[in-house]
Amino acid sequence: MPIRDADLLGHGNPGYRVWHYDLELAYKPSTGRLSGTAKVSAVAEESLPAFALDLGPFRVDRLTVDGRPARWTHRAGKLRVRIGRTVPRGSLFSVELRYAGRPAPVRTRYWGDVGWDELTDGAIVASQPVGAPTWFPCNDRVADKATFRVGLTVPSDYTVLASGVLASQLPSGTTTRWEYVQDAPTAPYLATVQIGRYESVRLAEGQHAAVPRARLRAFRHDFGRQPAMMALFTDLFGPYPFEEYGVVVTDDELEVPVEAQGLSIFGANHVDGRRSFERLVAHELAHQWFGNSVGLASWQDIWLNEGFAAYAEWLWSERSGGSPAAAIAAVTRTRLATEPQDLAIGDPSAEHMFDDRVYQRGALTLHALREVVGDRAFFALLREWTGTHHHATATTDAFIATAQRHTPVDLDPLFAMWLFEPALPPVG
């Protein structure tokens, strides 16, 4: 059964699509308080006398629709708005609200804590899959991409990074206002802000990082080959899809790195000066093509994000002097054969969306496809895939159709076995 909104804590709202979020916020690390104004601009997909936004337990002080006061209720993560008139289908409308509170992550049954979280000194936003409402009102649907402007004022001894390009940095007394603009359509879970005491690092043209001072030396070694990764992936997958690529290393440990739009976040534990986690550097960079630019139409197709990013790890290994993809595939298949054969990665439940088997079997699916169609056709179809669905969303069916155009071999049996049968396909 496809993953439904109800499976994702009821997030996501029908009837409209957002085209822009405008956020003007202030954050005090000493108290953990976030306050500000959000303007959400949308288009009605049906006649709307009312609509809802996803928003965490903030206090909402004022709300207008198209500049006119509107009635609202705010309970259980839903901000329900009565417009006072009907917005015709196809019409633009906007809701503006002031809100404040102490953001906290969403505690989920399957995926841990997600969203805004306080660090020892600063804050991190890692929203996949349902953490976006922990810091701004949104239509928290994976396919509802919009542009963003984020203004964030913090004490001047903190650095702010966010999705998009830095438009301004304006000190005023003891605080500094940072403004970021993201013109590429962005899913709510991929919008982020990162706040900490960081040093700026330039890795290459269009590639920058924010790193705690004590970890600068190890970072420069561990991420020293990232520009070469960028060059390889640009060659294999097509042009890098955003204006810039940023990396943040927190001074706290993180369980896993996290991707955001044009930005990846690593914990202090992922930087050891020995490149022990270089595969994760490749994985997060690859998400900028697979997951961020080419987004998901539904969480059901999560293998399109994670299988591709996992396979990019193998491609980097193969092209940088490490083990070839075929050798990694053989080891991975042997390991997966010892695990339960009860997950069809093309149709996982919400519980298993981020199961490691989705990542590794997804990569094996791509390697099996590569072996059948050959390198020339395989990389041509990847470039077609990222080009056709640039800054859009896509489905597994669309990928299968793209792949089929590149070979006379009937690919239906291959995809049926690898994606929709729980048991691993036989060898050979």
Residue 216 pLDDT > 60: yes
Read off the pLDDT of each residue in 243-269 and give the average, rounded to a whole number.
Answer: 97
pLDDT, tens digit, 9 for 90 and up, residues 34-90 = 999 999 999 999 999 999 999 999 999 999 999 999 999 999 999 999 998 999 999
- Edge-first strand order for the sheet with 122-126 is 106-108, 112-119, 122-126, 193-196, 159-162
Read off the pLDDT of each residue in 225-229 and give the average, rounded to a whole number.
Answer: 98
Q: What percent of the chain has pLDDT over 70?
A: 98
Where are the CATH 1.10.390.10 domain residues in the chain? 294-420
CATH 1.10.390.10 fits 294-420, yes or no: yes
Q: Is the distance from CB of 232 to CB of 316 less than 8 angstroms?
A: yes
Q: Which pLDDT does position 6 carry in this prediction? A: 59
pLDDT band at 427 (very low <50, low <70, confident <90, very high): confident
pLDDT band at 5 (very low <50, low <70, confident <90, very high): low
Where are the CATH 2.60.40.1730 domain residues in the chain? 1-101+134-187
Q: Which pLDDT does position 4 carry in this prediction? A: 66
* Residue in the structure block whose two tokens are 């008139």: 85
- What pTM was estimated for this model as a whole? 0.97
Residue 316 pLDDT > 90: yes
For 1-101+134-187, give the CATH class. Answer: mainly beta
Residue 1 pLDDT > 60: no
If you average pLDDT over every residue of the chain, what do you get? 96
For 367: left if phi > 0, alpha if psi spans -120 to 50, otherwise beta; the answer is alpha
Q: Please give the backbone phi and psi of residue 194, each rounded to the nearest 5 degrees, phi first.
A: -130, 130
Q: Which pLDDT does position 3 carry in this prediction? A: 72
Read off the pLDDT of each residue in 180-206 and give the average, rounded to a whole number.
Answer: 98
Q: Which pLDDT does position 368 carry in this prediction? A: 98
Least confident of 201-205, 221-225, 241-245, 423-427: 423-427
pLDDT, tens digit, 9 for 90 and up, residues 342-400 = 999 999 999 999 999 999 999 999 999 999 999 999 999 999 999 999 999 999 999 99
Residue among 4, 397, 206 nearest 389 (CA): 397
Q: Which pLDDT does position 2 carry in this prediction? A: 61
